[in-house]
Amino acid sequence: MAIIGAGGDFAKWGGRLFIRLLESKFKGAVYPVNPKHSEILGVKAYASLADIDGSVDLAVLCLPAAKIPGLMAECAKKGVKGAVIITADFAETGQTGKDLEQEIVRIARQGGIRFIGPNCMGIWSSAVGLNLALPITPISGQLAFVSQSGSYGITLSRIADEKGYGLSKFISFGNQADLLVSEYLEYLARDPDTKVIALYLEGLKDGREFFETARRVTRIKPILIFKGGSSPQGARATVSHTASIAGEDRIFDAMCRQAGIIRVTEVEHMFIMAEALIRQPLPGGNRIAVVGSGGQGVVTTDALATHGLDVIDLDDVAKAKLKEVLPAHAPVPGNPVDFAGGTRSAVQEAEVAHILASLDYIDGIITNVPVHLTSAKSVADYMKGSIEGAELFAEIPEKYGKPVVVLQSKGIINQNILDVLKSAGIPIYDRPEDCSRALAALVKYARIKNL
């Protein structure tokens, strides 16, 4: 990999990229290119690409826009096949920039080079430990995040990291002068490290191709999308940001529905849905069981209804089974199932969830994190009961093939139980609305898959 314009000053793009690359886990050969230095941060530097003895697979260009056509020609002569153009000041600035952008596309295509950008923030890949973009290395996971905006994409990746959502890839693609968003979708559909694809998009240059590609990919993996420029004012802003035409929002929305793309209206919703789609089985329908005392069950039921999910009533046989497990003071079981507070064990809560999951007319479950409120002779007994209940609860998705999401009650937190649930891949959310949104995404994608 060659960093053209590399330096040792983090305040400059060439330094920032080179330092991030050196600090990443990337194991390939790295060649800083800068005629002003013979060495940068202890690494031998080269005056030009031609001076590098070895082959170069990827060139990262971060010099002023006027120099990029000449540098692209040097890449072609060197036999480089891939490039990332960080530099801005192209089509997003007006006709002069558009002409310059078209010139680098012409040179790249003549030389057999494919490139990301220009006007982008770079890429990150967990598979090879490569970081050319992110100030904080993300947790490795199975969500690929593709963003038209570099700075906003970095902000969103930071939100993902703070919430504990791991990424497989991060791609900031900018102006899409060469590689288009539809091509990233094609690649990620085949990527074994990616289970869910998330997009931040402002506009398309390949509307028909994007639609056809997305329609194929959504049958393989879920695509979640958050679109900027949905208002007239925002649409105008996209032109000067990434040279994109946002298009009429209602048409874009209809395209998403036809292609099977799940559109979100708030960016955090994208990560909430992605976590469930990555970790949980798809439900067979929209009939949900809720376990939650008092107002929690009511609010969760309301939230599910807003997404078109049905909190279906239980039959008498199921109610009788639940009554045997619930505390004596609990009301007659219904849906939601109410423990009515008081003493109970994590095993009891897990048993209730198992009964609900075993019902052929229940497709998914929302419950609070199982609590362990029993008298114990020792800390060891308390720990044993907590973990036993959590492990029993964690068996549900695989045993019944039904999704389970849980609500973390602020007042009662048992870290032993949380650790078991997290390691089993059961999503834990802070609000009933987020639990409902996660299950709604699973129901929606199950329908998409079955079309």
| pLDDT per position as a tens digit, 182-196 | 999 999 999 999 999
In this structure, the answer to whether residues 270 and 346 fall within a common structural domain is: no
The tally of domains found in the chain comes to 3
- Render pLDDT for 24-51 as a digit per residue (tens, 0 to 9): 999 999 999 999 999 999 999 999 999 9
In this structure, the answer to whether residues 164 and 262 fall within a common structural domain is: yes
In this structure, the answer to whether residues 389 and 258 fall within a common structural domain is: no
In this structure, the answer to whether residues 324 and 361 fall within a common structural domain is: yes
Long-range contacts (CB closer than 8 Å, 24 or more residues apart) made by 348-351: 348/389, 349/291, 349/389, 349/393, 350/389, 350/390, 350/392, 350/393, 351/325, 351/392
Supply the CATH number for residue 13's domain. 3.40.50.720
In this structure, the answer to whether residues 351 and 404 fall within a common structural domain is: yes
In this structure, the answer to whether residues 105 and 131 fall within a common structural domain is: no
Boundary-marking domain end, from 251, 279, 307: 279
Q: Which residues contact 348 (CB under 8 A, 6 or more apart)?
A: 325, 326, 327, 389
Supply the CATH number for residue 207's domain. 3.40.50.261
- Render pLDDT for 110-160 as a digit per residue (tens, 0 to 9): 999 999 999 999 999 999 999 999 888 888 999 999 999 888 878 878 888
> What is the Cα–Cα distance from 164 to 170, expressed in whole angstroms?
15
- pLDDT, residue 158, reads 82
Distance of CA 273 to the CA centre of its chain: 9
In this structure, the answer to whether residues 265 and 296 fall within a common structural domain is: no
In this structure, the answer to whether residues 112 and 170 fall within a common structural domain is: no
In this structure, the answer to whether residues 218 and 265 fall within a common structural domain is: yes
In this structure, the answer to whether residues 45 and 166 fall within a common structural domain is: no
In this structure, the answer to whether residues 259 and 314 fall within a common structural domain is: no
Q: Domain limits at 324?
A: 288-449
- pLDDT, residue 342, reads 65
- Render pLDDT for 88-120 as a digit per residue (tens, 0 to 9): 999 999 999 999 999 999 999 999 999 999 999
In degrees, rounded to 5, the angle at the alpha carbon of residue 332 between the alpha carbons of residues 331 and 335 is 100
Q: Give per-residue burial for 376-409: e unless 16+ CB within 10 Å, then b.
A: eeeeeebeebbbbbbbbbbebbeebebbbbbbbe
Boundary-marking domain end, from 116, 143, 167: 116
- pLDDT, residue 314, reads 96
Residue 233 has pLDDT above 80, yes or no: no
Predicted confidence band of residue 411 (pLDDT cuts 50, 70, 90): low
Boundary-marking domain end, from 223, 257, 279: 279
Average pLDDT in the chain: 90
Predicted confidence band of residue 412 (pLDDT cuts 50, 70, 90): low
Helix, strand, coil percentages (3-state) for the chain, rounded to 5, are: 45, 15, 40
- Render pLDDT for 343-402 as a digit per residue (tens, 0 to 9): 678 888 899 999 999 999 999 999 988 877 666 667 778 788 888 989 999 999 999 999
